[in-house]
Amino acid sequence: MSHEARVAGIIARIRRIPEGTVRTYGEIDPEAPRLVGHVLATTHERVPWYRVIRADGTIPKGQRQRRLLLSEGVPMRGDRVDLDRARLNLPAAVAGYLRAADASDADALVACFTKGAQVTDEGRTWRGQTEIRRWWEGPANQFQYTVKVRGGQRIGSDRYVARIRLTGNFPGRTADVRYRFTLRGGMISALTIAP
């Protein structure tokens, strides 16, 4: 493969990184991650350069890059991208919900939902943002637990599923569940949590 063809391939792969997700230099070109950095530094092509990060989740271009990633809903853990979540290719509202849940931020969590949204958890349904807040501040947090996102995918034009492992002080201590999201207008209109 010629050098020009390789560079063109790198640029094409960077362009295809979906909004709200990231790729590492090595994921763009496993045989030449440094070449990816060189291409990004020298190209005049318009590419979403800020979606390319280091393998450990650190952000090479500092606060400007971090702000751009956050504006797309890319999940962070401190100053690093949370690679497990960022690679899921979930839409910004779903990523925002997972990030708000992880941070126990009720305001940010409720803001991910449409006004008439509903949440179904353990066979009970809460409707509207006020009830969703009650669910979050009550039943959803009656135990202490950590959330590990194990995978996620699109299952319809406006539907997504995230596979979650909960570990905490509830009976059984570990539970694998699916969070099924339905979106409307870029916001969550329904969430069903079930095994």
Please report, for residues 54, 55, 77, the alpha-carbon distance to residue 84 in angstroms, rounded to integers and kept in the order given.
14, 12, 11
Three-state SS for 190?
A: strand
Three-state SS for 26?
A: helix
Which tokens in the block code for residue 36?
Answer: 């990816």
Would you state the pLDDT for residue 88? 66
Is the pLDDT at 17 greater than 90? The verdict is: no
Q: Among 75-79, 180-184, 185-189, name the one with the lowest average pLDDT.
A: 75-79
Q: Which residues pair with 177 in a beta bridge?
A: 164
Is the pLDDT at 8 greater than 90? The verdict is: yes
Sheet of strand 187-194, all strands in order from the earlier edge strand to the far edge: 124-127, 113-121, 187-194, 174-184, 159-168, 145-154
Region 53-79 average pLDDT: 91
Is the pLDDT at 95 greater than 90? The verdict is: no
| CATH code for the structural domain at 3-86 | 1.10.10.10
Q: Among 70-84, 110-124, 163-177, name the one with the lowest average pLDDT.
A: 70-84
Q: Phi then psi for 145, rounded to 5 degrees?
A: -160, 160
Q: Among 6-10, 108-112, 153-157, name the one with the lowest average pLDDT.
A: 153-157
Residue owning tokens 């905490």: 168
The topology under which CATH files domain 106-194 is Nuclear Transport Factor 2; Chain: A, (3.10.450)
Region 70-83 average pLDDT: 87
Is the pLDDT at 82 greater than 90? The verdict is: no
Is the pLDDT at 90 greater than 80? The verdict is: no
Answer with the residue of higher pLDDT: 73 or 136: 136
Instruction: Look up residue 153 and give its amino acid.
Output: Q
With beta carbons less than 8 A apart as the criterion, state whether 36 and 25 touch: yes
Domain spans in the chain, listed from the N-terminal domain onward? 3-86, 106-194
Which tokens in the block code for residue 26?
Answer: 């090595």
Instruction: Look up residue 194 and give its amino acid.
Output: A
Is the pLDDT at 188 greater than 90? The verdict is: yes
Find, among 116, 96, 119, the residue nearest to 108 by Cα.
Answer: 96
Q: How many CB atoms lie within 10 A of CB 102?
A: 17
Q: Rounded CA gap, 90 and 160, in Å?
A: 7
pLDDT band at 15 (very low <50, low <70, confident <90, very high): very high
